[in-house]
């Protein structure tokens, strides 16, 4: 009689079980949800800096005049409107916001929007000017408990 060499069922199940355990450990270690959230937060940080830099470049070129109707303290921060929205739609209540369409073309290509923004008229970012004239741009929908806000 010829004997064939092969794997037994127990050996195959043992190898499959070990592979499954290792795969679950790798998935937990990588944590794709956290990685994606970190990537979106990095985009938010970049967008906030882009908007603030464009606002200040505009102010430098226009003798200190800020674009749009950036609210001054103690007013609450207003949402930044997308440049594709007509100015009247951006500034009318109840969804009043700050129209930064003056920045488009010269200072930025387009007003950036939050990576998870679902509103067609606002960016998902806010802007406010404090009592000392410093402007703050923030991303209120930052993930994983992060606070994304830049003041200059």
Q: What's this model's pTM, rounded to 2 decimal places?
A: 0.79
* Token pair belonging to 16: 């499959």
14-42 pLDDT per residue, tens? 999 999 999 999 988 889 889 999 999 99
User: Structural domain boundaries of the chain?
Assistant: 31-151
Residue 83 pLDDT: 65
Q: What is the largest CA-CA distance in the chain?
A: 99
Beta strands 148-151 and 135-139 are: antiparallel
Residue 68 pLDDT: 78
Residue 45 pLDDT: 97
Looking at beta carbons, which pairs linking 26-31 to residues 24 or more positions away fall under 8 Å? Answer: none
Token pair 């070129």 in the structure block, residue: 61
* Token pair belonging to 139: 């991303």
């Amino acid at each position: 009689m010829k004997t064939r060499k092969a794997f037994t069922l127990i050996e195959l199940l043992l190898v499959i079980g070990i592979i499954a355990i290792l795969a679950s450990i790798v998935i937990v270690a990588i944590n794709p949800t956290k990685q994606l959230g970190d990537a979106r937060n990095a985009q938010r940080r970049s967008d906030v800096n882009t908007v603030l830099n464009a606002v200040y470049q505009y102010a430098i070129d226009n003798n200190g005049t800020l674009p749009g109707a950036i609210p001054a303290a103690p007013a609450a921060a207003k949402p930044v409107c997308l440049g594709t929205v007509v100015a009247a739609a951006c500034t009318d209540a109840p969804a009043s916001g700050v129209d930064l369409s003056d920045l488009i073309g010269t200072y930025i290509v387009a007003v950036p929007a939050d990576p998870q923004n679902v509103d067609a008229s606002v960016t998902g970012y806010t802007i406010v000017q404090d009592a000392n004239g410093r402007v703050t741009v923030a991303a209120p929908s930052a993930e994983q408990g992060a606070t994304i806000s830049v003041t200059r």
